[in-house]
Structure 1
Amino acid sequence: MIRPFLAVFIAVVGLFFWTASPTAPAAQKCGSPATAIHQIQGSGSHSPLAGQTVSIEGIVTYTSGHRDGFNGFYLQQADTETDNDPTTSEALFVYTRRKTSPGQRLRLTGVVKEFHDLTELVNVSQLTVCGREPVPKPIDITLPWPQPPESLENMRVSFGTPLTVIEHHNLARYGELTLASEDQIMPTEYLTPGVHAVQQKLRNLEHRVLLDDGKSTLNPTPVPWLELGENNTVRAGDQVAGLIGILDYRFGQWRVQPDRKPGLSRPAPRPDAPQKTAVDVVRIMALNLQNYFNGDGENGGFPTPRGAKNPNAHNHQLRRLTTAISLATPDIVAVTELENDGYGPQSSLVQLTRALGPAWRFIKTPDRDGTDAIRTALLFRNDRVRPEGRALRLNKDIYQHRGRPPLAQTFTPMAGGKSFRVVVPHLKSKSCRNAHGPDSDQRDGQGCFSAYRTHEAQAITRWLADLSTTENLAGTLITGDLNSYAQETPVDTFRRAGFTSLVHHAHPCRPGDCRYHSYRYRGEKGSLDYALANQALMAHVVSAYIWNINADEPRALDYQSAPDREGPWRASDHNPVITDFRL
């Protein structure tokens, strides 16, 4: 005899297994009336049925229930069951740990939820496998978006034309690449700061999509996508073709979870170092070292405050920097972001100079290098040029109590000819820390501290105007990191003082045609590093280049993150500026 409470227990258990099985009641049978997914999605940014319990039927297009996935799968209405309304999506994400596979037709019951603007079904209480069907065909789309991407949320999509990699900052951390129809240019590189520049930045941000790796973990190993590219790297400017997958929305970004590996190609190879055109040419190279700190100079003292985290990282950094400099064959190197640790035998400047070889020397300005953790410096080959007179630092005006004082030194070619003055500035960064008043972001496209950088530029031009000149002086070159794009106020200050950006003069930057850039920030390229010549020096200019060895290489391969590699690649995050003169 079964006791009454046991009979009730058996009945409840039997009901559970009955309702979860393929022989569920009529309301749960495959093909029974169900809520269409496009009704759940609606034509707005949020579901009109959020919070309601619904039963749906559709086809699994992509599963993300693996260990590092998103705990669910994507379900899309069959091609014959759509409403043909381009404003409504036919798919949604189902948040559940239940195992599924692409091509399964499922019927399920759950609650509609908006999770950080992603429409999904949660609390799945019923799930029936109705058989197998072909997955829905992908919708062909292009960038710029032909329609609001919200209308395609969670659907299979296909990009018929190749997309360009414009950013890989989060490649190693999140497995992401940012794609656009073409490379994007920093608006203030070619537009005056103001309304039009801000509007262009918004357009740039709107017409992008991320290529994701389908994982929710940080620091995926191995780093995805690298194996698809030439030299096992993905450079900005590379092209992605055959991209098919789910148009997903996570962490505030539209992204594609590909259901097959896309193709990756490189329209142009990694660039070789520009060759000198003649033996009588004097070459000057400006390079931001991306915080070259050498610990205690004796393989200890790591991690450093700003640079290498350990001795291996430091050795990788030093080798890449010296390789880049050696391949460029400069006679003078103007550096920024160098540790401000004096001129002793264990200092970063002495170590870098020694690593370049016996012909290299450096300019000393003891006790005048400023109080910042980093400084500017000049290195030179003593068999090619010789310094004339004493080195100068600007230690008054805005540089009296803070900042990185610019360095000036006059040189003369050893083979004869006119002398020339080289000035190395490093203006304040765009970081907004401690910014207030006129130094805060003025919403004109220049970022924070534009007013401060402008004051620095004004102080430098006044200083140079007061320096004495000689009859044999060919002119002055300002070369270094200005932390400003070509049309921003600080650069315009130098321009109005009679200085010309040699790279922009030879290779103007226009929409869709910006051949040279020294930096890439959040998917937009432009120049922060310059060679500015005064009018007197213009007659001696032979050529000006930016050697693209750093900015377009992924951070995943920098000296901190990757095992050492051959070549100069990703020695820094800035590309070097190289200028040639005949004096």
Structure 2
Amino acid sequence: MITLRAFVKGLLAPLLLLWLPVFAAAAGCGASATAISQVQGEKSSSPLAGETVTVEGVITMDARHGGGFQGFYLQQPDRETDDNPQTSEALFVYTNRATGNRGERVRVSGRVKEFHGLTELTDISAIETCGKGVLPEPAPVTLPWPRGQQPEHLENMRVAVSGELTVIDHYNLDRYGELTLAAGDQIIATEILKPGQKARARHQNQERNRLLLDDVMGTRNPRPIPWPAPGLSADNSVRAGDHVSQISGILDFRFGAWRLQPESPPVFRTANPRPEVPSRSESATLRIVTLNLGNLFNGDGNGRGFPTARGAEMAAEYKQQQSRLVAALIAPNPDIIAVTEMENDGYGPESAIAGLARALGEHWRYVKASSRTGKDAIRSDLLYRQDRVTVVGKAHRPGPSSFPKPGRPPVAQLFRPAGSHETLRIIVAHLKSKACRGAKGPNRDQEDGQGCYSHSREQATRAILDWTESLPQPDNLAGTLITGDMNSYAREKPLQLMAAAGYTNAVRRFHGCTETACDHTSYRYRGRSGTLDYSLVSRGLADRLVGANVWSINAEEPKALSYQGPVPLADDKPWRSSDHNPVITDFSF
């Protein structure tokens, strides 16, 4: 039989539990409170999510400033930790209440919440300042993360990174104030491994072992752009491959990534300086530069017609884009230029290619391969110095029946270098990108490291090889150079097909690539370096190959320096003139 006292006790007990946090907060500083480590728990999600708790700790970083994260980081003092290495001792407190400053001890009551992977305290009902506190010592951390374990046990805590880290990505630097760091450069898996499970595992391991250097701001387009301090500029820039040290602050987790909110600016060291133009050996009689132009569109050709389908959005942008591309193309002193992502607007005097030829100088002409350019907005093209090489015969492009869709038909042209009776054939190709829009069936991502449309790229490569064999073969033909943007890394199927057909990767003949060091790559994507742009030399022509380089002027530079970026750069500078690096190939005839 239930007594009246037992009934009342049972009725009031839940109400008392509901009000306990308020009573605890009201009890004041030093009263019983929930340990922050108990709120964090040993797993990625809090065991107390949804519950209301009262905690005490020291404010280690205040992010309630304008544009900040609307809250502060609260950590248990060192003498009050639970000595469990599996639990974090810190929380993010989401509030705009102004109580408390960095270094002060505060008592806070609120509801525990998981916010996209970040354990935080929200719906704050009370904050009380408890006087001056003692900041906990930063925990030492290293990359890669020890034993491959994500640092959940350090979430929201003060940390200090040991040694130097390497900048591997700056794509979001001007938009979000972020730099991606790692223990060293990360190489695209299929640049060194065949597509498959090993490549996929390497990719995933790279993704896990990164740290974003953030700016304690929750707003877009921070100005000045924070890194390197006091702000990014043409003369104070950062390249992929540069090193960062003295990194300390709060280890935060936001938007699916571990990031460091710094207490003071870290130190940047130039470890990958802007390179000089690759020298041309005395034996080289023919130099070819290959470059993806990054969508060169010239409006109507008379300073109007902007924005266009791609590229510059106004005439002033186009002028700067073209000027910087010219600086990049002319500096190596080439005889022939092979380009991709040229506007497919014909070959008349107002076309984009005619404008580029005029900007290159009086000796420059372009190959008029006007038929069969396809319906894509961009195409591949060739330009040449008429005082150094002679065009032999007409240009060729494959017909629709011999080149698969989707794709951009390649262009082929015979050239004879000055002083030589021999010719070489140059074919400029640009295969389908890895973007997944519209991908169906075998063109969907097969999760082997090759991305979407790998089937289309393989079919296009086979078609190019077959078409090459069908072209006229004059007696004085020294060989064939297939160059351009293959949108495939070195161990992927298109490059394997080219190698099987007897084509040599010119750059890799002179510059090797290992699992830990792979110089002379042409592209960076989401923090990984690899090669998309190639010079592939046929057997007969390989004997005349005397040099090949990738000039790293673009992919390593932040896009904030591009012609559409917020950081001004002189028009006669080649840096970030495109997002691909040019490939420079030298022959002796």
TM-score of the superposition, structure 2-length normalised?
0.93
Give 1:571's aligned residue.
577
The SS at the match of 1:370 is coil
Q: CA deviation at 1:268?
A: 3.2
Q: 2:223 aligned with 1:221, yes or no?
A: yes
- 2:95 matched residue in structure 1: 96
Instruction: Tell me by how many angstroms 1:34 deviates.
Output: 1.2
2:27 alignment counterpart: 28
Amino acid paired to 1:142:
T
Matches within 5 A, 1:168-183: 168-183=170-185
Counterparts of 2:42 and 2:24 in 1: how far apart (Å)? 32
Aligned partner of 1:323 among 320, 327, 335:
327
**1:25 to 1:46, Cα distance in 2 relative to 1, 3 A:** closer
| Cα distance in 1 between the residues matched to 2:444 and 2:284 | 47
- Report the TM-score, using the length of structure 1 for normalisation: 0.94
Q: Which moved more, 1:270-279 or 1:329-338?
A: 270-279
Give the match for residue 463 of structure 1.
Answer: 467
User: Which of 258, 262, 266 pairs up with 2:266?
Assistant: 262
Aligned residue for 2:15?
A: none
Q: Give the Å deviation of 1:226.
A: 4.2
Instruction: State how 1:483-522 maps to structure 2 within 5 Å.
Output: 483-522=487-526
CA shift digits 1:308-358 (9 cap, x unpaired): 011121111011100001111110000000000011111100000000000
**Over aligned residues, Cα RMSD in angstroms?**
1.6
User: What do the CA deviations read for 1:338-386 (whole angstroms, capped 9, x no partner)?
Assistant: 0000111111000000000000000001232111110000000011111
Secondary structure at the aligned position of 2:109 is classed as strand
Q: CA deviation at 1:508?
A: 2.2
Q: Choose 132-141 or 150-159, whichever is displaced more.
A: 132-141
Task: Show the counterpart of 2:134.
Answer: 134
8 Å CA contact 1:178–1:208 kept in 2: the answer is: yes
**Aligned match of 1:451:** 455
CA distance in 1: counterparts of 2:528 and 2:140, whole angstroms? 26
Distance 1:227 1:321, change over 3 A: farther
Residues 185-225 of structure 1, C-alpha deviations (whole Å, 9 max, x = no match): 00000000000000000000000011111111111122221
Find the counterpart in structure 2 of residue 12 from structure 1: none
Q: Which residue of 2 aligns with 1:113?
A: 113
Structure 2 CA distance, aligned partners of 1:396 and 1:498? 26
Give the % identical residues. Answer: 52
1:535 aligned residue (539, 554, 568) = 539
Q: Aligned in 2, Cα 1:308/1:496: closer, same or farther, shift over 3 Å? A: same
Amino acid of the residue matched to residue 62 of structure 1? M
Q: Secondary structure at the match of 1:93?
A: strand
String of CA shifts for 1:25-60, please: whole Å, max 9, x gaps.
Answer: 885322222111001000011111111121111000
1:192-211 to structure 2, matched below 5 A, reads 192-211=194-213
Contact preservation (8 Å) 1:177, 1:211: yes
Q: Give the length in aligned residue pairs.
A: 561
Structural mapping, 1:555-566, within 5 Å: 555-562=559-566, 563-565=568-570, 566=572
CA deviation after TM superposition for structure 1 residue 509, in Å: 1.5
The 3 A distance-change label for structure 1 pair 400 and 160 is closer
C-alpha contact (below 8 Å) 2:479/2:538 kept by paired residues? yes
2:9 alignment partner in structure 1: none
Q: Which runs of 5+ in 2 are unaligned?
A: 1-22
Q: 1:580 aligns with which of 566, 580, 586?
A: 586
Matches within 5 A, 1:178-577: 178-227=180-229, 231-278=235-282, 280-399=284-403, 403-562=407-566, 563-565=568-570, 566-577=572-583
Question: Separation in 2 of the partners of 1:163 and 1:518?
Answer: 22
Question: Gaps (5+ residues) in structure 1?
Answer: 1-23
SS of the aligned residue for 1:406 comes to: strand
For 2:452 and 2:403, how far apart are their aligned partners in 1? 19
| Segment of structure 1 superposing worse, 348-357 or 295-304 | 295-304
Deviation at 1:486, TM superposition (A): 0.3
Which stretch of the first structure deviates more once superposed, 160-169 or 127-136? 127-136
Secondary structure of residue in 2 paired with 1:223: coil
Q: CA deviation at 1:403?
A: 2.5
Decide whether aligned partners of structure 1 residues 246 and 25 sit closer, same or farther in structure 2, where only a CA change above 3 A counts.
closer
Q: Distance in 1 between matches of 2:228 and 2:297?
A: 29
Is residue 398–residue 456 contact of structure 1 (8 Å, CA) maintained in 2? no
1:42-57 alignment runs, 5 A limit: 42-57=41-56
Runs of 4+ in 1 over 4 A off after TM superposition: 24-27, 226-230
State the 1:555 CA deviation: 1.1
**1:471: Cα distance to partner?**
2.8
Alignment partner of 2:430: what SS?
coil
Distance 1:205 1:97 in 2: 34
* DSSP 3-state at the match of 2:455: helix
What CA distance in whole angstroms lies between the structure 2 residues aligned with 1:451 and 1:184?
A: 26
Aligned-pair distance for 1:134?
Answer: 2.8
Instruction: Look up the equivalent residue of 2:513 and give its one-letter code.
Output: C
Instruction: Determine the structure 2 residue equivalent to 1:11.
Output: none
CA distance 1:29–1:370, shift in 2 (3 Å): same
The answer to which of 250-259 and 274-283 deviates more is: 274-283
- The 2-side partners of 1:85 and 1:53 are apart by 23
More displaced stretch, 497-506 vs 462-471 = 462-471
Conservation of the 8 A alpha-carbon contact between 1:364 and 1:391:
yes
